[in-house]
Structure 1
Amino acid sequence: MLGKTAGLLSFLGIGLYFTGWIYRWAYFSYFQLEVTSLDLPFESFLIVPIQVFFGNLSRGDFSTLFRTLWTAIASFILLPIIIPIIFNLIKFSTQKLDKFINKLGWKLLGWIGKIKRPKITRNIQSFFYFAEINYQDYDQALIKEIVIIFWLLMTLFFLGKTQGNLDAIQDAYNETSSLPVVTLITPENQLPLGRKIRDLTDNPNISNFRIIGDIELYKKLLERDYNNKTDPDFPQVIWRLLFDTNGQYYIFPSLPKNAPSNVSPPVVVIQQSDGGEYTIILSPEAAGNN
């Protein structure tokens, strides 16, 4: 009983980690980040599946739970149909492969016999004897378990990827994002973005910085690096914190509700340098929204 329990717990841990990894991969891929390059703790991959299976029930959102239940019911109905189909496909393919190997073997043996090499002939015969595939020798219980495990992994992949994409899109738009609003304060000339607090009209001094890449993208970020709530015509941009780790802060300007569905926000990585100082202010939402 202990052995079965340990095996079940091991399989459960693998399934949870797989689901969490797929969720993280889909989520951060939306923001053009590779999950393998991020220093994420191992245990976080085991906790994330709770979000994948149940969603945010505290907000009254039951769509994720309904999707999980629907997927489980569909799997329960389809598996008894899929397993016999897999068995028949294996039987058909192995029979065809048997005929091909036998046909090839006889032709090869006939060719080897012409050159009168008994030792080579015996080796070829032994090879094709062990290469013959008999469907009846297969462990059908093992094949059934393999099909079930493969189907479960496909199901977990679907749930993790779907929920990861949905959560990323939700967090990218300002009106639906649950990520904290971030305000970054640094000494002057520490970053190539940002404005003077007492003179927001003064463009950042970028004479000491160099650039590689899309200059237009950088100019667009310069136009969106702060909010001017006193000007109703000024485009309001809320910066949010994606996550932080080891002195790196990943922040991005959240998208307005009228942004195209195929657009993802740019991510700015703030790296703490030796001797550099900065202040991060986090808030559930931007000031003045209430």
Structure 2
Amino acid sequence: MSFLHRLAVVTVLIMPLLAAAQKQAVPQPEPGSLEKTAQLVGVLSEFQRLQSLSSTAGPVDRWEVLWLHEHVGEQIMATSLQVDATIAQIDNEIARANEVHSYLSDRRDRAVNRANLFSVIVGGGLGATSSGLQLSSTLEKPAAAVGIAAGALSASLAIAGIHAQKGKSSRFGFESNMLAKFFDRPALPDSQYPATIWTFLNEHAPTGPPDVTRKQQLLQTWIAVRRIDSMTNKDKIDRLTSEPDEMLQLSIDDFEDRAAMLQDVRARISFLKRDLGELMGSLAATADQGRTVNR
């Protein structure tokens, strides 16, 4: 037997084993997760009926199967579009918050740099003048006065630079407050979460503690990383959930915290797209299985 012939035989024997190993390596959806997603979308009974028909050995009503596929697929698509619309609103609020944050940060940095530069120039110039006056024994007192003035002015400019580190504040004039519902505050009309998405956020995450919802996980994370001190910090929460009519002034830190918290909400909602994708994929698998059974 030639080397090429032996290699072909070994390849034929190994390929089924490799295929089985690859099939086992693909992560499978959690048992019951498809049903939970179907219930969330509102098509649990239709999805179960479709699974039942696909496993039936005898003839089935193809029109019923077609209608079930279309109905479930349409509901999945509608929910997916709701997720996209919600994420788009969050992205817009994040973008506006980041714009104001960048503007205030640039102004603060310029003020700090200007104070530091003036401190160096004034301190260095007056220090040199004081040193020059000390060269004459008759100008010791003026030299000392100039040296004291140099130190005082340098210290004043340094204090001004430290004070400027806080930066200015500004109103948030964008008509959106997507964090409001997380803190039971009034939400603007464009900042309402669709019922399906809000239900998803108030469900228990598969990877988290069984007694903690996704919303509660977010709140606990924000407190742990000091986005908010506690749920009783009314002033901070007011600024994070503010709307233009309230005329509240937000600091640089407020805009940064608001954008970061919205990013967390966006990431958590995006998991729903993954679940919808798994449910849609199961429809294709169900269709293939039904064609195989009834062939």
TM-score, normalization by structure 1:
0.23
Bigger-Rg structure (1/2): 2
Q: Whose relative contact order is higher, 1 or 2, with alpha carbons under 8 Å and at least 6 apart? A: 2
TM-score, normalization by structure 2:
0.23
Relative to its length, the structure with more helix (as a share) is: 2
Relative to its length, the structure with more strand (as a share) is: 1
